[in-house]
A and B are shown apart, each in its own frame.
Chain A
Amino acid sequence: AQSVTQLGSHVSVSEGALVLLRCNYSSSVPPYLFWYVQYPNQGLQLLLKYTTGATLVKGINGFEAEFKKSETSFHLTKPSAHMSDAAEYFCAVTVPVNNDMRFGAGTRLTVKP
Chain B
Amino acid sequence: KAGVTQTPRYLIKTRGQQVTLSCSPISGHRSVSWYQQTPGQGLQFLFEYFSETQRNKGNFPGRFSGRQFSNSRSEMNVSTLELGDSALYLCASSSGQGGPDTQYFGPGTRLTVL
Residues on B lying within 8 angstroms of A by beta carbon are 4, 6, 31, 33, 35, 42-43, 45, 48, 50, 55-56, 90, 92, 94, 96, 98-108, 110
Contact = CB atoms under 8 A, between A and B. Distances in A.
Interface of A: 32, 34, 36, 41-46, 49, 51-52, 90, 94, 96-106
17 contacts: A41-B107, A41-B110, A42-B107, A43-B4, A43-B90, A43-B106, A44-B105, A46-B104, A51-B100, A90-B43, A98-B55, A99-B55, A99-B56, A99-B94, A100-B45, A103-B35, A106-B42
Which applies to chain B's interface (DSSP): helix, strand, loop or mixed? strand
A32 B100 contact: yes
B42 A102 contact: no
Contact of B103 (A41, A52, A101, A105): A101
B42 A99 contact: no
Contacts of B33: 99, 101
A44 B31 contact: no
A104 B42 CA distance: 8
